[in-house]
Amino acid sequence: MSSHPLPAKKGYDPRQRDRPNQKREEATDASLAVILFHPGPNALPADAQTSDALTGQVTSAEEGPMEGVLVSAKKAGSTLTVTVVSDQQGRYRFPRAKLEPGQYSLRIRAVGYELNGRAAADITPQNTATADLKLRKTQNLAFQLTNAEWIASVPGTDQQKTSLLNCLGCHTLERVVRSSYDATGFMQILQRMATYANQSTPLHPQRRLAERALEQRGEERQQAQRQQAEFLSAINLSSSSTWEFPLKTLPRPQGRATRVVVTEYDLPRPTIEPHDVIVDSDGMAWYGNFGEQTIGRLDPKTARVTEYPVPELKRGWPTGMLSLRPDREGSLWLGLMYQGAVAKFDRKTEKFQIWSLPPELNKDNTQINMTSPLHYAVDGKLWTQNNGIAAVHRLDLASGKFETFEPFKGSTKTHNIYDVIADSQNNVYFTEFANEHIGRIDAKSGMIILYPTPTPRSAPRRGMMDAQDRLWFAEYRGNRIAMFDTRAERFQEWVAPTAWSAPYDVAVDKNGEAWTGSMVSDRILRLDPKTGQWTEYLLPRSTNIRRVFVDNSTTPVTFWVGSNHGASIIKLEPLD
């Protein structure tokens, strides 16, 4: 982590808020000519010309050759952006298979720097184009910071900074620190924010119809909101025209983290929120729309997107879905959230089958987020949960009847059952996001056991069960990923290498490596559990990462994730 003094203001107002879903392409000087880079006949050796479509060196006056600069290329009129990373010599290379012939615009990501003028490249079928990129120091460092860098920069205790993680589900922290609200103004904002559904964004806000049963209320809530309002008004621009603290930045990628190709597929509308992305056996990428009543299919070869409308069962309630998980036959299962139901989508017939909660359970605060369909064939029953009442439901697929398990019934404390994940015998494990518990419900007896994680207040969020019945999950507030061996009843935790990574989910690949993504730092994290070695891949732009998925059919494996606030799907291909 490095610290930078605030740059002098030149032509921008730090009070100006960021626009939601804005793609932050680096600022360029309009007075500079657009530079077109054409292939030279003797620019590179013949073997390089056959393997690379575009190459070049990234340099700056301050550093000379620059490692870890993300270089992105987008063809005119295309919905695809391809990104590579410069190596230790500052050289970047686009494989020929990744760029078809045509005219491309280029942009970079390197915190503290921007392109010294616009850059473009003309890609031809045979030769290798060359584009050497000169960078200059940015005059607007604040515009480039990730949420993690803002959290690291602002003054405050760890407890105060942890409260900022609650802001990231709907918008960036930049909106907060650029605001000018005092504590009184923030109290009104926080009270209003509490009425929005968790899939809200600035482009598509949605109101809750009722509060969750087991969450803060009364004076306890008022006190928490007052404390947060005072903290937020101390780190924004309410008393000054500029920030009174240095801006801190994270280091650029190095070594193994530069050996990667990232492809980003734009989706048809900016309001699409691809919360969960998975890849089926045919290589198609499917996404659930967190804010709208649709799911979608992306063909990675053609970039064509097909959308399927999901039935709206409770008009007037918030729309959207959270989990998207396959069963062993390849059908897709969804939790329809405030619509109060579970859905199954048959990929072959392209038809939905719906199971709604009965009226006595289908209340204003009902929120069915997750399903666990992988092992329902064991007993014909599907596990799901209800965030509105901190409960777990079990659906008998033959009869359509629901059973309800309430581990925290009667509690006066805040509880939030986030994910449900079944083992090979269809016993279910759940994550308790408000605190630090992993829970187990025995499929035969219904007995409930709670296991506290080694890290207090770790906020277990989402995860997966591996073939050995080991539960892998992310600890959002604990800044860790963890594994719970369900047979030995033993935990193991790994601390993320970067502070305030706040991992959301975990996927384990065929090689035993664990992958997670940060909602906060725009980084994909790869862990070798045997050695404890981490690799962090930086993504090309601000990415609100949620569910993570690894496609094990490729070698090396391929990582997929949705940009939940950026209306795009991201494919990350490590080169080793």
Residue 3 pLDDT more than 70? Answer: no
pLDDT at 216: 82
* 255-574: CATH number: 2.130.10.10
Give residue-wise pLDDT tens across range 339-390: 999 999 999 999 999 999 999 999 999 999 999 999 999 999 999 999 999 9
Q: What angle do CA 180, 151, 515 make, to 5 degrees?
A: 140
Q: What is the dihedral of CA 146, 152, 154, 155, to 10 degrees?
A: 170
Fold of 35-137: Immunoglobulin-like (2.60.40)
Residue/partner pairs of 150-157 with CB below 8 Å, 24 or more apart: 150/174, 150/177, 151/499, 151/500, 151/520, 152/1, 152/248, 152/250, 152/499, 152/500, 153/243, 153/245, 153/246, 153/247, 153/248, 154/235, 154/245, 155/234, 155/235, 155/245, 156/231, 156/234, 156/235
pLDDT at 214: 86
Using a pLDDT cut of 70, give the percent of the chain over it: 91
pLDDT at 27: 37
pLDDT at 21: 41
Determine the Cα–Cα distance for residues 326 and 371; give it in Å rounded to an integer. Answer: 10
Closest CA to 113 of 131, 135, 91: 135
Neighbour count for residue 488 (Cβ, 10 Å): 8
pLDDT at 218: 86
Determine the Cα–Cα distance for residues 72 and 170; give it in Å rounded to an integer. Answer: 26
Region 553-569: mean pLDDT is 97
Give residue-wise pLDDT tens across range 272-293: 999 999 999 999 999 999 999 9
Residue 114 pLDDT more than 90? Answer: yes
pLDDT at 30: 30
Whether the CB-CB separation of 486 and 470 falls below 8 Å is answered with yes
Residue 4 pLDDT more than 90? Answer: no
Q: Give the pLDDT band of residue 39 (cuts 50, 70, 90).
A: very low
Q: Give the pLDDT band of residue 10 (cuts 50, 70, 90).
A: very low
Give residue-wise pLDDT tens across range 512-552: 999 999 999 999 999 999 999 999 999 999 999 999 999 99
pLDDT at 1: 55
pLDDT at 19: 38
Closest CA to 516 of 533, 532, 496: 496
Q: Give the pLDDT band of residue 192 (cuts 50, 70, 90).
A: very high
Q: 3-state SS string over 203-240?
A: CECCECCCCCCCCCCHHHHHHHHHHHHHHHHHHCCCCC
Q: Give the pLDDT band of residue 6 (cuts 50, 70, 90).
A: very low
Both tokens assigned to 554: 């490729």
Whether the CB-CB separation of 565 and 544 falls below 8 Å is answered with yes
Give residue-wise pLDDT tens across range 243-256: 999 999 999 999 99
pLDDT at 501: 97
Mean pLDDT of all residues belonging to the chain = 92
- The least confident of 36-40, 267-271, 486-490 is 36-40
pLDDT at 22: 43
Residue 132 pLDDT more than 70? Answer: yes
Q: Which residues of 299-333 are buried (b: 16+ CB within 10 A; e: fewer)?
A: ebeeeebebbebeebbeebbbbbbbbbbbeeebbb
Beta bridge partner(s), residue 78: none
Whether the CB-CB separation of 288 and 295 falls below 8 Å is answered with yes
DSSP 8-class letter at 566: T
Residue 363's Cβ-count burial label (10 Å; 0-12, 13-18, 19+) is middle
Give residue-wise pLDDT tens across range 416-465: 999 999 999 999 999 999 999 999 999 999 999 999 999 999 999 999 99
Region 478-496: mean pLDDT is 98
Domain with CATH 2.130.10.10 in the chain: 255-574
- CA dist 493 to 206, 265, 518, Å? 36, 33, 17
pLDDT at 217: 81
pLDDT at 383: 98
Query: Dihedral sign, CA of 547, 257, 163, 150?
Result: negative
Determine the Cα–Cα distance for residues 7 and 557; give it in Å rounded to an integer. Answer: 41
Give residue-wise pLDDT tens across range 15-36: 343 434 444 433 333 323 334 4
Domain with CATH 2.60.40.10 in the chain: 35-137
Q: 3-state SS string over 101-165?
A: CEEEEEEEECCCEEECCCEEEEECCCCCEECCEEEEECCCHHHHCCHHHHHHHCCCCHHHHHHHH
